[in-house]
Amino acid sequence: MLDLKSLISDLKLFSGSKKIVGLDIGSNSIKLAEVISTNKGYVLNQFVQLPLPQGIIAEGVLVDPHALSSKLKELFRQSGLRGRGIATSLSGNSVIVKKVTFAQMEEAELRDLIRDEGGKYLPFDNMDDVNYDFQILGDNEFNPSQMDVIIVAAKKDIVNNYLDALLDAGLNVMIMDVDSFALETMYEVNYKYDNDEIVVIVNIGASITNINVIKGGMSIFTRDFTLGGNSITEALQGHYNITFEEAENNKVECSPDDVELQNCILDFSEPICSEIERSIDYFRSTFGGENIKHVFLSGGSARINGLTATLSQRLNIETEIINPFLEIGYNKKNIDAIELENISPIAAVAIGLGLRRMDDK
């Protein structure tokens, strides 16, 4: 796995550790997932979420570190967890993930090449301001003298801003992942797939949507765009002249019988659907139009009534809400069946991060 040792001393990015919990930091809420390994498989032992006031995080960028630290302390108090080792993740403007094709070379030579010529592949002027790492995927499908590589890069100031807030909350950051890769981990554990099978996971967050195309259990294309469920909520807020909180409730709890509201929500979802469609069309054109078997939706806005059917029709691909609990049980003393159903679409990233406590290869 990728290992961004340059992030900070002793902090491993994309590496494994045994005693950690998953912490998903979103624009509207923070979510904590404790996944334990038993002789019967993985079990979600605890899931806690806490809303975040607007403005603490904007488009994946931390604006108010002190406020986030305060909320993180409250989250862990509610959880009652003693351990403070966490796996968390970045997305949106905080991180760049790019697949690049290079001539065949040794890993050390490739690392030097990316450091010296990173500006050719990444949108950064000075690689000294960036933490980066890469993973060699293997030989290029069309040219065996070349190899495919995924490069991950994050600006140091943005990453350090998050780290300062997490450390101030008394947390031990053992893994810093990427949202798209956390979703990949969750998918690998829960779904069976063939080596040539292609699926797309679309995570519609509050302010960022993550798109991850996976082939044979490995990411081959990712894209984040800064448009999410909040855009729908804000449009409803203005249209009906109601509060943000009322609009948010209407968005996710709209009755199928309220045809006017349902159609309004789907109309306001159009920009997100268009970006998803454009991203998948780009993937198809860039990667030779390979067949996509499924599209899976996650995130709070995945629960919008009619959204899966709309996307399925537009993309001409079977679309459904992802289930992070197909192969993961739950502690019935801490979580009831109704709660499990409610958290299913919003827990995907946190579950993926919670699974990263095991040693990865």
Q: Which domains does the chain have, with CATH numbers?
A: 1-94+157-191+326-361 (3.30.420.40), 194-322 (3.30.420.40)
Tens of pLDDT along 254-309?
888 889 999 999 999 999 999 999 999 999 888 765 689 999 999 989 989 899 99
Burial classification of residue 263, based on how many CB atoms lie within 10 Å of its CB (0-12 exposed, 13-18 middle, 19 or more buried)? exposed
Q: What is the DSSP letter of 10?
A: T
pLDDT tops 50 at residue 361? no
Tokens 């909350």 belong to 169
pLDDT on residue 142: 84
User: What is the separation, in whole angstroms, between the first and last Cα of the chain?
Assistant: 6
pLDDT on residue 15: 40
Q: Residue 140, SS3? A: coil
pLDDT on residue 131: 84
pLDDT on residue 147: 93
Residues 156-180 have a mean pLDDT of 90
Q: How far apart are CA 121 and CA 99, in angstroms?
A: 9
> pLDDT category, 359, cuts 50, 70, 90?
low
Q: Which two tokens stand for residue 321?
A: 């809400």
CA nearest to 136, candidates 159, 154, 155, 113 = 113
Higher pLDDT, 241 or 286: 241
Per DSSP (E only), the strands in the chain are: 21-25, 29-38, 41-51, 57-58, 61-62, 85-90, 95-103, 130-139, 146-155, 172-178, 198-204, 209-215, 218-225, 294-298, 318-321, 328-330
Q: Report the alpha-carbon angle 359-360-361, nearest 5.
A: 130
pLDDT on residue 93: 67
Tokens 């890769």 belong to 181
pLDDT on residue 176: 85
CA nearest to 42, candidates 327, 336, 356 = 327
85-94, 195-204, 232-241, 317-326, range with the lowest pLDDT: 85-94
pLDDT tops 70 at residue 224? yes
12-21, 24-33, 104-113, 155-164, range with the lowest pLDDT: 12-21
pLDDT tops 70 at residue 4? no
Highest mean pLDDT out of 79-93, 114-128, 213-227, 310-324: 310-324
> pLDDT category, 216, cuts 50, 70, 90?
confident
CA torsion through residues 9, 12, 17, 22, sign: positive
How far, in whole angstroms, is CA 287 from its chain's centroid?
22
CA nearest to 45, candidates 353, 348, 273, 334 = 334
Tens of pLDDT along 170-187?
999 988 888 888 999 999
Integer Rg of the chain from CA? 20
| Residue 36 near residue 45 (C-beta atoms within 8 A) | yes
Question: Average pLDDT over the chain, rounded to whole?
Answer: 87
Q: How far apart are CA 332 and CA 168, in angstroms?
A: 33
> pLDDT category, 115, cuts 50, 70, 90?
confident
CA nearest to 13, candidates 88, 113, 63 = 88
Residue 333 burial (CB count, 10 A): 8
pLDDT tops 80 at residue 40? yes
Residues 193-214 have a mean pLDDT of 91
pLDDT on residue 288: 65
pLDDT on residue 1: 39
pLDDT on residue 6: 34
Tens of pLDDT along 334-355?
998 888 988 999 999 999 999 9
pLDDT tops 90 at residue 218? no
Tokens 């801003």 belong to 161
pLDDT tops 70 at residue 3? no
> pLDDT category, 16, cuts 50, 70, 90?
very low
pLDDT tops 80 at residue 126? no
Residues 9-26 have a mean pLDDT of 61
CA nearest to 34, candidates 97, 94, 1, 76 = 76
CA nearest to 100, candidates 123, 77, 78 = 123
Burial classification of residue 156, based on how many CB atoms lie within 10 Å of its CB (0-12 exposed, 13-18 middle, 19 or more buried)? middle
Q: How far apart are CA 242 and CA 90, in angstroms?
A: 32
pLDDT on residue 256: 82
With a pLDDT cut of 70, the percent of the chain lying above it is 92
pLDDT on residue 10: 32
CA nearest to 201, candidates 183, 220, 218, 185 = 183
